[in-house]
Amino acid sequence: MSAVPAAVAPPTGIAGLRARFREGKASLLKPFGESRASVAHATRLVRALCRHVDATLADLWDHAMMPPGAALVAVGGYGRGELFPYSDVDVLVLLPDGIDGSNDALKSAIEGFITACWDIGLEIGSSVRTVAECIAEAQADVTVQTALLESRFLCGARRLFTTFCKASTAAMEPRAFLRAKTLEMRQRHQKYEDTPYSLEPNCKESPGGLRDLQVLVWVARAAGLGKSWSEMAANGLITPFEVKQLQRNEGLLRLIRARLHVVAGRREDRLVFDLQTAVAESFGYQPTKGQRVSEVLMRRYYWAAKAVTQLNQILMLNIEERVNGSAGAPMQPINERFLDRGGMLEVASDDLYEREPHAILETFLVFQQTPGLEGLSARTLRALYNAREVMNVDFRRDPRNHAMFMRILQAPEGQTHAFRLMNQTSVLGRYLWVFRRIVGQMQHDLFHVYTVDQHILM
């Protein structure tokens, strides 16, 4: 990727800053748009765009002659250090407590700074607050609290930013934040049809999208469990295998979103029907004998979204246990292999499926037949996720597994819930290999709203 060209001397006016900003951004987007970009290329792009905007904002801050006691802070996704080609740039102008916001000189400087941002082509989202006002707003609105959680210092008074960080940390209530973000996530999922498999998914907001991964980082960070996948692993929250899966799927979703922005030439996070073919072609995908090029792309997306959904569920349950102390929930034995743990089906040991592979299908028979079970516990979900290699040819040929599957199929009720749960946990496609071939398979038309596997289960 080409670097942003360095100027010998900073531009002296808005026109010069505008020209440098646009030329620098174009020099980053052009090679990305012209290449068959990789996940690593997309990661470098969103970070390089962020650094380019950082430098531009610092120049604009100086140009506006902002008061020395104020600080400019990146918040939201921009604060995270990632900036997609046409994403908003969210900033906080942080003022010292007790400052008179109605001061004409200060007001003029702030207005000049924000206007200049728009003038050079930055789609800026800005707020102007003191530290005390930030804390009050955060306690009243979890969206504000989330944006401030990922704050990053840009320029100005660093000591004020340090004070702000300490106040924000002291005001954080991990349990309340977890409850609010869990509710917010459920409402968002409902808004997007509660499925990763819709015809035109939003790669940021839909279930299985980038937002589901960001929620994990937010709640873990608020609880002091880590600010990254590696820190969460060091704290025993996730396994090394899960770290690799999270990084791989996050990278693919990031690449798809960056590609979508470049192809659309605007901020567009939905894989809308009319853009799917163009995005697929930008990846260099080719149609196969049975699939259009758009269907190749969408199947890859759906598999990533499905993995993110599984990992999100596992980690949210684990974080909830850490934060709420629900690890001590009452347990009632069901048989020697399974327990009812507060309404969730739990394996009696982490290595159950490695020792007794036939217990994998028994999981869903027990779930189907045991009244009061609401789902699978984090421990069970993790055990299933890590036992996928156990479900091989020998597993599919085992007569005990045939008999177990038929018991689920022939039960008087509960097949719908059992089979949907088997599909969500990737067990159904690994047991019925022919079913695996249709998981995430879509048809590029406006009639088939869901993927083939979802249609069949319905």
Whole-number pLDDT of residue 277: 93
Whole-number pLDDT of residue 2: 46
Tens-place pLDDT, residues 219-245: 999 999 999 999 999 999 999 999 999
Average pLDDT over residues 39-51: 95
Question: Is the pLDDT assigned to residue 446 strictly greater than 90?
Answer: no
Whole-number pLDDT of residue 155: 96
Question: Is the pLDDT assigned to residue 287 strictly greater than 90?
Answer: no
Tens-place pLDDT, residues 344-379: 999 999 999 999 999 999 999 999 999 989 999 989
pLDDT averaged over the chain?
90
Question: Is the pLDDT assigned to residue 396 strictly greater than 50?
Answer: yes
Q: How far apart are CA 238 and CA 216, in angstroms?
A: 11
Whole-number pLDDT of residue 131: 94
Question: Is the pLDDT assigned to residue 452 strictly greater than 80?
Answer: no
Whole-number pLDDT of residue 12: 60
pLDDT confidence of 444, banded at 50, 70, 90? low
Q: How far apart are CA 277 and CA 281, in angstroms?
A: 6
Pick the more confident residue, 37 or 214.
214
Provide DSSP, 62-73: HHTT--TT-EEE
Residue type, 99: I
Whole-number pLDDT of residue 348: 94
Give the 3-state DSSP-derived string for 137-151, with helices as H, strands as E and coil as C: HHHHCHHHHHHHHCC
Whole-number pLDDT of residue 449: 64
Whole-number pLDDT of residue 326: 62
Whole-number pLDDT of residue 196: 87
Tens-place pLDDT, residues 378-392: 899 999 998 988 999
Q: How far apart are CA 88 and CA 32, in angstroms?
A: 20
Whole-number pLDDT of residue 454: 74
Nearest CA-CA partner of 2 in 57, 38, 48: 48
Q: How far apart are CA 40 and CA 150, in angstroms?
A: 23
Average pLDDT over residues 143-158: 94
Q: How far apart are CA 149 and CA 139, in angstroms?
A: 12
344-347 and 375-376 as β-strands: parallel, antiparallel, unpaired? Answer: parallel
What are the strands of the beta sheet with 338-341, ordered from one edge? 331-333, 338-341, 344-347, 375-376
pLDDT confidence of 159, banded at 50, 70, 90? very high
Tens-place pLDDT, residues 101-145: 567 788 889 999 999 999 999 999 999 999 999 999 999 999 999
Whole-number pLDDT of residue 8: 43
Pick the more confident residue, 441 or 203.
203
- What tokens does 191 get? 């808004």
73 and 152 Cβ atoms separated by less than 8 Å: yes
Whole-number pLDDT of residue 146: 95
Whole-number pLDDT of residue 49: 97
Whole-prediction pTM: 0.86
Q: How far apart are CA 398 and CA 358, in angstroms?
A: 8
Average pLDDT over residues 145-162: 95
Whole-number pLDDT of residue 7: 45
Question: Is the pLDDT assigned to residue 6 strictly greater than 50?
Answer: no
- Per DSSP, helices labelled H in 141-239 are 142-149, 158-171, 174-191, 210-222, 229-234
Question: Is the pLDDT assigned to residue 55 strictly greater than 50?
Answer: yes
